[in-house]
Amino acid sequence: MDYIFIQDQETLDLVCARAARHKAIAIDTEFVRTRTLAPALGLVQLFDGHQLALIDPLAIDDLSSLTSLLVNPDVIKVLHSCSEDLEAFLATFSLVPRPIFDTQFAAGLLGLGTTMGYGRMIEMLLEITLEKGESRTDWLARPLSDNQCRYAADDVLYLLPAFEQLYDMVEARGKLDWVLSESASLSEKKKATMPAEYAYLQIKNAWKLSSQQLTVLKHLAAWRLTRAQQKDMALNFVFKEAHLFELALRMPQSKGALSRIHCLTPQERRLRPEILLDIIRQGLEEFDNTSSEAHIPRIKRLIDFPHYKQTLARLKHAAAEIAVEQGVSEEVIASKKQLNQLIKWHWFDIDECRVQGLKPDVLTGWRATYFEPVAQAVFN
């Protein structure tokens, strides 16, 4: 099928107006995210069953007709494994599409395979094998070749007929609300932001540090996140996580001590030493000027709690029972990571969900109906 490459507002407005008349449209994005914190959107693909459009967001100043379509409540937006697409839309338009039908989640729900790739799904449902030759394209470069455009077009051309099959099967199972709710919950998570003062919670091995070292890590991690946001740089291109941990562990207070931390990259060493030493000094001063009762508590691992394994086993058993009752796999109901999230929510005063204003996955969306009574029985 031929595609339209849209680089003017008039054509975009016309295509979006036509697409808004349909029950569902297939959407995909192409973006570049190598050294940046946020994905840089290079292309938006749209297929409504009649017109296949490749929209160039770099060439059009006013994309309001597209953004209006993306949030039109009467049109289902069909995406496959939509997590990174949501991030691209958020970074570019400060919004996420709604409502969303994620075909990857739907396929997992139906027992066709969890985390199934797009190509495998199309092969299974439509018996079509897709080419993957342009997956490493620089989607910000212009002009795009016909091969690149056709590769991008295929990502929505076959998505819509696959959706139609999955939609009918999901609806027959009475699980359409699960699919729409899953994407809505994911959208809320994507919109949440980690406060800089709690960025240290995401640093691997932070549990090994003392309260004093954690206070230093808090300042270092907040600086790294803030700088990444200001410069639009991936966190590890600002300062590698393992090296940030090493600074907090050793707490160098002089240029000489800092120079003896040999793991630092050349880029990290190009930072003025005074910047890092000043951040470390601020952390040490905060610790010294804070009462012992107000110090950051050492981070505990779940495995350090005596009843952790027993509690996790009870939650896994409950998830297995729900899975049997609903006729889906346990993985769809709740992963180990999601169950651990629930345990932290109940046992920890500070956790990654709470500081972002979120609830654990199993207490949001369609899962909440099943897990709220489970949580009450296990933790009360």
Please give the Cα distance from 344 to 341 (Å, whole number). 5
| CATH for 4-191, options being 3.40.930.10, 3.30.420.40, 3.30.420.10, 3.55.40.10 | 3.30.420.10
Give residue 136's pLDDT. 77
What's the pLDDT score for residue 132?
A: 74
CATH architecture of the domain formed by 302-379 = Orthogonal Bundle (1.10)
- CATH topology match: 4-191 vs 302-379: no
Structure tokens that stand for 93 in this block:
């338009």
In this prediction, residues 25-36 reach a mean pLDDT of 96
pLDDT at 134 over 80: no
Q: Is the pLDDT of residue 137 over 90?
A: no
Mean pLDDT value across the chain: 96
User: What's the pLDDT tens digit per position in 245-276?
Assistant: 999 999 999 999 999 999 999 999 999 999 99
| DSSP secondary structure letters along 74-128 | TSEEEESS-HHHHHHHHHHHS---SSEEEHHHHHHHTTS-TT--HHHHHHHHH--
Helix (DSSP H) and strand (DSSP E) numbers for the chain: 19, 6
Residue 131 has pLDDT above 90, yes or no: no
Instruction: Using CA atoms of 204, 302, 108, 321 in order, give the dihedral in degrees to the nearest 10.
Output: 180
| Residue range 100-125, pLDDT digits in tens | 999 999 999 999 998 999 999 999 99
Confidence class of residue 329 from pLDDT cuts 50, 70 and 90?
very high
> Alpha-carbon distance 201 to 63, whole Å?
37
Beta carbons of 158 and 130 less than 8 angstroms apart: yes
Q: What percent of the chain has pLDDT over 90?
A: 97
pLDDT in tens, 298-307: 999 999 999 9
Residue 221 pLDDT exceeds 90: yes
pLDDT bracket for residue 164 (50, 70, 90): very high
Gyration radius (Cα) of the chain, Å: 24
Catalytic (active-site) positions: 28, 30, 85, 151, 155
Q: How confident is the model at residue 232 (pLDDT cuts 50, 70, 90)?
A: very high
CATH class of the 196-294 domain in this structure: mainly alpha
Residue extents of the structural domains in the chain: 4-191, 196-294, 302-379
Q: Inter-axis angle of helices 118-126 and 159-172, to 10 degrees?
A: 70
